[in-house]
Amino acid sequence: MRQISPAQLAQRLSDPQQPAPLLLDVREPWELEICRIEGSVAMPMGSVPARFSELDRNRETVVICHHGGRSAQVCMFLERQGFSRVINLAGGVAGWAAQVDPRMAQY
C-alpha cells in the first residue's frame, strides 16, 4: 500500500502543475464536524463497501482518517476491488494538524 505524509500531500496540493487527487475522508460525521482537510469528500468507512462504485477507479485517491489506521484498511479494501491508485495519508488529520495546519482543531 502506498502512503503519503501530510507534508508531501500539502506540497502536492499546492502544485498547480499536478492534477489534484481525490481526498476521501472515511471518518464519521461527528469527526468531520470537528475538522477536515479542505476539499475532502466524506464517505464514512462503514459505507465504503456499499458506495465504492461512486469512486473513479482511475483517479488517484488519498484516503484520510484520524491517525491513518482506518484509511489503511479502506485502501486495502479498495485495492482488492481493483483500485490501483489509492494512497493512505500517514498520520491522518492528526498528522496534518501537526505538520501542515497547526490551527486545525484536534481531538
Task: Name, in order, each residue with C-beta under 8 angstroms of 90's C-beta and a sequence gap of 6 or more.
Answer: 3, 4, 5, 6, 68
Domain count, the chain: 1
Task: Give me the pLDDT at residue 57, please.
Answer: 94
Q: Is 104 a domain residue?
A: no
Tell me the residue range of the domain where 28 lies.
2-99
Summarised one tens digit per residue, pLDDT across range 36-46 is 999 999 999 99
> Is the residue at 106 inside a domain?
no
Active site residues: 65
Within a domain: 107: no
What is the pLDDT, as a whole number, of residue 36?
A: 96
CATH number at residue 42: 3.40.250.10
Instruction: Determine the Cα angle at 37 with ends 95 and 10, to 5°.
Output: 65
Any domain includes 7: yes
Assess if residue 32 is contained within a domain: yes
Answer whether 55's CB lies under 8 Å from 81's CB.
no
Residues of the chain with pLDDT under 50: none
> What pLDDT sits at residue 42?
98
> What pLDDT, on a 0 to 100 scale, did the predictor assign at position 13?
97
